[in-house]
Structure 1
Amino acid sequence: MLEAKLADAVLLKRLLDSIKELVTDANFECTEEGLKLQAMDNSHVALVAVLLKEEGFMKYRCDRPIPLGVNLGSLTKVLKCAKDDDVVTLKAGEEGDILQLTYEGRNSDRIADYEMKLMDIDADQLGIPDTEYDARVTMSSAELSRIVKDLAQLGESVRIDVSKDGVRFEAEGESANGKVLLKQTEAARRRYAEDEEEVKNEGDDDDEKEEGGSKRKKVKKEKKENGVKKENEDAEMEDGEKEGEDESGEFKAESDDEGEEEKEEGSDEEQENRKKRKKAQAKATGKSKRAKKSNDDEDGDASGGVSIEMNQHVSLTFSLKYLVNFAKSAALSNKVKLMMSSEVPLLVSYDFGPGHIHYYLAPKIGDE
C-alpha cells in the first residue's frame, strides 16, 4: 500500500508541467526512499529522472515497491482541480490499478476526492552511470530560460561553450545569429557555494530547530507561570485588606493564562502535524533563506552571474526545442546546473528541496 501526503499541491503541478510535453506515459516507482520517475522522450534523445524524497512528505508509507503507470496529461488535469496550497494525499492499493487523490483545504473546511485509472506500462529502468564532468556551470534558472527562449526564435540549435571567460550560448539562423556570454563572477561563485553548504546541512538544522523550539516553549511557559505567581504575591502583600478581591483576580489571571497555554500548545499530535506541515511547506515551495538571499542580490548577480568549475574547455551543440522544455523547471528552483563533457549527454539539474529533476540530452554531432 502507498500513502503519500504532500503539504502543497503546487509542487506536483509544477513538476507535471515541466515534463508532460516531454513524456506522455510513465511509471512513478514507489519505494521506501520516495517516488521516482524515469522516462525517455519518443525520439530517445532526452531522458528525465525525477525524485521526490520520503522526508519531503508530511506522511509517507510504502509497504512494498509499487509502479504507478500514469498518463501525465490526465494526471495534470486531475491536479488542476486542487488549489495550490491544498494538502494532497496519494493512495494506491496492492493491486496498483487505481490512484486516489485527496485534496484538503488549508483550514480543513474542504475535502475533495478523485480517482484515476492506472496503466500497465512496460518500461525498463536505465542505469545512469556516474560521470566526472569536465565542466560544471551553476546559474540562475530564470536566466537560462530567457536565453534558450530568445535563441529559439533564431534557430533550432545552440552551441554551449564553457571556458575560463564564462559560458557562451550561440545560435545561428537563416536570417539572424545570436550570442549570449555570461561571465563568471566572484559574488555568484560565493553565493552558489553557500547555497550548497546550506542544502547539505539543512536536515541537521531542521532537527536542531525542532528540539530547540520545544525547549524554548517549555522555558517560555515556566517564565509565564513564574511571572503570574510573582505578580499575585506582590498584589497580596500590597492589598492584604482586599483579600477577597485579590483572590478573585488571582483566579481570573490563572484561568486566562491556562486558556492561552491550552490554545497555544494543543495536543502533542497537533503540534507534530504543524511542525511537519511547516517543514514540508518550506521545502516544497522553496521559501528558504537561500531563495530570499538570491532575490535580494543585485540584478547583475541574480540574473547573469554564473559559477564555473572546469577541468577543460568544452563546446557542444544541442537542440533548443528540448532545452526550452527543460527550462520550464525554473518554476521549481531558482538555480540550475549544467554539466558537460565531450561526447557525453548534457545533464541539466534542478534541486527543489524535497527532491530533484534531472534532464539528460544527447549532443548533436555534425549536421544532425
Structure 2
Amino acid sequence: MFEARLVQSSILNKATNAIKDLLNEATWVCTESGVQLQAMDTSHVSLVSLNLLAEGFDKYKCDRDLVMGINISVMSKLLKCANDDDDVITIKAKDNADTITFIFESRSQQKKSKYVMKLMNLDKEYLNIPDIDHNCTIRMPSNEFSLICRDLSQFGDSIDITCIKDSVKFSTAGDIGTANIKFTKMSSEDNKERTVKVEAQKPIKMTFSCRYLNLFTNATAFSPRVSLFMSPNVPMVVEYSIEDVGNIRYFLAPKIEEENNS
C-alpha cells in the first residue's frame, strides 16, 4: 500500500509542469525513502531526474516498492483540478494496482474531490547517474537564468556558456546578430539571493541547445535559485531544489563542434 499526503498540492502541480513538455509518460518509483522519476525526453536528448523525499511529505507510507507508469499529460490536467492555495492532496495506490487515486480536500474540509487515474504498462527505465566532481559550478537566481535563456534564444539556436575563474558569460550568434551576457564576481553581500556565484577550477566553454534550456526553466517556480554544473565532455546538470521536499535535475549533453560547424 502506498499513501502520501501533501498540505501544498501546488508542489506536485509544479513538478508536472516542469516535466510535461519533455516527457509524455514516465515511470514513478515509490520506495520507503520517497518517490523518484528518471526518464529520457521524447527525443532522447536530455534526462530528467525528479526526487521527492519521504520526509518532505506530511504523511508518507510505502509498505513495499511500487512502480507506476504515469501519463504525464493526464496527471497534469488532473492536478489542475486542485486549488493550489488551499487544497490538501493525498495520493493512494494499492500493491500491483492498475490505478492511482488522488484526493483533494479543502482546508476547511467543506469540499472533498476524488479522482482515479489509470496506470500504464511501461518498461522500468532507471539509469545509473555517476557522481562527478564538476569543474565548474554556477549558482544564480532562477529568474535570471530563465530570462537569459529566453532572450538569447531570440538570436540563435545554441547558447555558449564560458566560465573563467569567478566569471561566467552566456553568448549566442545567429543570422540577425550576436548577444552575450556576462556576470563577474560580486563582493556585495547585501542581496545574496541576487548574487551570481561561479567556481571554475579551469576555464571551460560548452555549447547547449536553447530549446532544451528554455524547457528546463519551467522549473523556475520551485526555487529562487538554480545551480549549473559543468565538466568537459559530460552532460551539464541544471538543478532546482523543491522547497523541503527534494529536487529536480536536468541533464543535457553539450553540442559537439561538428554540429556547430555544420
Q: Structure 1 length as normaliser, TM-score?
A: 0.68
In structure 2, the residue matched to 1:186 is 187
Distance 1:165 1:61 in 2: 45
Measure how far apart 1:78 and its partner are: 0.5
Higher relative contact order (CA 8 A, sep 6+): 1
Q: Tell me the C-alpha RMSD between the 2 structures.
A: 1.2
Distance 1:185 1:110 in 2: 50
Residue type of the alignment partner of 1:35: V
> By percentage of residues, which structure has more strand?
2
1:149 aligns with 2:150: yes
Number of aligned positions between the proteins = 257
- Which of 215, 220, 235 in structure 2 is aligned with 1:345? 235
In structure 1, the residue matched to 2:130 is 129
Q: Which runs of 5+ in 2 are unaligned?
A: none
In structure 1, the residue matched to 2:249 is 358
In structure 2, the residue matched to 1:332 is 222
| Alignment map for 1:121-270 (pairs within 5 Å) | 121-187=122-188
In structure 1, the residue matched to 2:54 is 54
SS in 2 for 1:73: helix
Distance 2:193 2:128 in 1: 35
Distance 1:364 1:138 in 2: 22
Distance 1:3 1:315, change over 3 A: same
SS in 2 for 1:101: strand
| Alignment map for 1:76-87 (pairs within 5 Å) | 76-84=76-84, 85-87=86-88
Q: Which runs of 5+ in 1 are unaligned?
A: 189-296
Q: Structure 2 length as normaliser, TM-score?
A: 0.95
Question: Residue 182 of structure 1 contacts residue 306 of structure 1 at CA under 8 Å; is this kept in 2?
Answer: yes
Distance 1:36 1:165 in 2: 34
Measure how far apart 1:123 and its partner are: 3.2
In structure 1, the residue matched to 2:199 is 309
Residue type of the alignment partner of 1:356: N
Distance 2:113 2:231 in 1: 48
| Alignment map for 1:36-75 (pairs within 5 Å) | 36-75=36-75
Distance 2:184 2:87 in 1: 41
Question: Residue 38 of structure 2 contacts residue 125 of structure 2 at CA under 8 Å; is this kept in 1?
Answer: no
Identity %, equivalent residues: 40
Runs of 4+ in 1 over 4 A off after TM superposition: none
Question: Residue 156 of structure 2 contacts residue 173 of structure 2 at CA under 8 Å; is this kept in 1?
Answer: yes
> By percentage of residues, which structure has more helix?
1
Distance 1:165 1:58 in 2: 40
Question: Residue 66 of structure 1 contacts residue 96 of structure 1 at CA under 8 Å; is this kept in 2?
Answer: no
Residue type of the alignment partner of 1:53: L
Structure 1, residues 85-116: CA drift from partner, whole Å, max 9, x if none?
Answer: 31100000112310000001011111000000
